[in-house]
């Protein structure tokens, strides 16, 4: 097919047969569209012998809103190429691209159906011992090997151009840094939260910190980020952790990815208040989430430092103490981005199932209200507190203590 056309189950099968190489020539194949994300179509194509692949197609608009929100198809190219680049330096934790077609905005991926989406698993109170370590490993390797510590200045600039992603970045710029702090039709929260949301809009120190975080997001081309690493972008199993969906990828501040991941674990921490009724079980789950954050922060720091010590190519950046200095600023940024993720997922356009699927409306409202009022397991105040304190953190321990202090 030489022109873009929106796939349905029949067209996917026709396309996959034409590309060939995924199934035997005489295989009987079927397709099922099961995407439930905000933006794309996702098909599972399988034969009768149990072989399967995933076919993902970008729509020319945001699926969650409809044709009134047009969106570039180029995000499919960005996503496939980020996956390939990240897989080159961290194959263990990156989903594998089998084929990509930019005209159709189609990417064929390995089927990770044997694993679970992390958000759904956490919502069922399932835990994964290796999660913090694996994500730290992924974030450290993908960011270090796509930073100026490792890439030549010429190569880095060429890659920054290749991964310029203005439309998807604009979504984050609006939804993450602007909408929650102004009146916007896109914001979604119950009327009962209005006074708390209004307080955020008038919190001058908070707005200053958000401005600094946004400025960094707009200007700091530190490394090739995933750009949207929430718990719905991670597949998990007992022995495997695989990252998917980097269509928001671009060269940005490294702390953005780390902060997004930690922010989503803290959103789940907050949600458990309305999910697990029995206190001992709830505390157990919440302690697991805090432990995972602790492991992730520490392992990220240790992995990144060790990569910098072994593999920094830039002469000046090899100066003793510079990698440590750089990493502290990354960790500080991550605390701020974590806080803003908590805020935007609570009152902005894109929420999380962790909180939204709490069935009982009163309980859900209680979780949201407590999140605003009490500062414990609470997305908004927690976010605010993290953002305001980020600049005082000088070590991994300081960062972790800040997070722990905020949730207690």
Q: Using CB under 6 A as the criterion, which residues of the chain lie in contact with ligand SR1 when the complex forms?
A: 38-39, 62, 64, 171-172, 175, 228, 350
| Minimal distance, residue 10 CB to ligand SR1, in Å | 28
CA distance 57 to 38: 13
Query: Is position 245 an interface residue for Mg ion (rule: CB under 5 A)?
Result: yes
Query: Is position 257 an interface residue for Mg ion (rule: CB under 5 A)?
Result: no
Stretch that binds Mg ion, among 189-197, 237-245, 314-322, 351-359 (CB under 5 A): 237-245
CA distance 131 to 268: 15
State the binding partner of 81 from ligand SR1, Mg ion, none, CB within 5 to 8 A by kind: none
| Minimal distance, residue 142 CB to ligand SR1, in Å | 18
Stretch that binds Mg ion, among 19-27, 42-50, 126-134, 238-246 (CB under 5 A): 238-246
By C-alpha distance, which of 92, 136, 85 is closest to 301? 136
Pairing between β-strand 116-117 and β-strand 241-243 as defined by DSSP bridges:
unpaired
Residues in the chain: 408
State the binding partner of 64 from ligand SR1, Mg ion, none, CB within 5 to 8 A by kind: ligand SR1
For 323, list phi and psi in degrees, rounded to 5.
Answer: -60, -40
Stretch that binds Mg ion, among 4-12, 166-174, 175-183, 241-249 (CB under 5 A): 241-249
In this chain, which residue has its C-beta nearest to Mg ion?
245
| Minimal distance, residue 230 CB to Mg ion, in Å | 8
Query: Which CB, 209 or 245, lies closer to Mg ion?
Result: 245
How far, CA to CA in Å, does 122 sit from each of 22, 237, 334, 384?
A: 33, 12, 22, 24
Query: Which CB, 12 or 352, lies closer to ligand SR1?
Result: 352
CA distance 134 to 142: 12
Check: CB of residue 335 under 8 Å from CB of residue 390.
yes
By C-alpha distance, which of 340, 392, 332 is closest to 230? 340
Q: Which residues lie near Mg ion (CB under 5 A)?
A: 245
């Amino acid at each position: 097919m030489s022109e873009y056309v929106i796939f349905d189950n029949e067209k996917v099968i026709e396309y996959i047969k034409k590309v060939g190489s995924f199934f035997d020539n005489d295989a009987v194949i079927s397709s099922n569209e099961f995407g439930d994300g905000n933006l794309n179509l996702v098909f599972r194509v399988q034969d009768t012998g149990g072989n399967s692949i995933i076919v993902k197609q970008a729509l020319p608009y945001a699926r969650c809103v409809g044709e009134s929100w047009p969106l570039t198809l180029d995000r499919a190219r960005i996503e496939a190429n980020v996956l390939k680049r990240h897989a080159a330096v961290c194959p263990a934790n990156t989903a594998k691209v089998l084929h990509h077609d930019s005209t159709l905005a189609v990417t064929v991926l390995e089927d990770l159906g044997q694993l679970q989406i992390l958000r759904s698993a956490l919502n069922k109170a399932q835990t994964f011992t290796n999660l913090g370590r694996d994500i730290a490993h992924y974030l450290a390797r993908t960011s270090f090997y796509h930073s100026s510590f490792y890439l030549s200045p010429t190569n880095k600039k060429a890659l920054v151009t290749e991964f310029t992603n203005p439309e998807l970045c604009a979504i984050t710029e609006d939804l993450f840094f602007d909408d929650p702090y102004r009146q916007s039709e896109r914001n979604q929260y119950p009327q009962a939260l209005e006074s708390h949301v209004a307080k955020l809009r008038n919190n001058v120190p908070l707005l200053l910190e958000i401005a600094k975080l946004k400025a960094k997001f707009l200007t700091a081309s530190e490394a090739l980020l995933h750009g949207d690493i929430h718990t719905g972008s991670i597949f998990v199993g007992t022995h495997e952790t695989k990252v998917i969906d980097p269509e928001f990828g671009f060269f940005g501040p490294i702390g953005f990815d780390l902060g997004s991941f930690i922010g989503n674990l803290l959103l789940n921490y907050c949600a458990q208040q309305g999910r697990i009724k029995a206190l001992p079980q709830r505390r157990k789950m919440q302690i697991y989430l805090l432990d995972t954050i602790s492991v992730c922060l520490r392992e990220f720091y240790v992995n990144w430092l060790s990569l910098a010590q072994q593999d920094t190519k830039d002469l000046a950046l090899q100066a003793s103490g510079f990698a440590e200095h750089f990493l502290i600023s990354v960790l500080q940024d991550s605390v701020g981005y974590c806080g803003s993720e908590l805020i935007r997922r609570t009152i902005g356009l894109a929420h999380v199932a962790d909180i939204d699927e709490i069935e009982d409306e009163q309980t859900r409202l209680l979780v949201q209200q407590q999140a605003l009022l009490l500062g414990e397991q609470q997305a908004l105040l927690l976010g605010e507190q993290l953002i305001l304190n980020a600049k005082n953190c000088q070590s991994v321990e300081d960062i972790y203590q800040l997070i722990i202090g905020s949730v207690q």
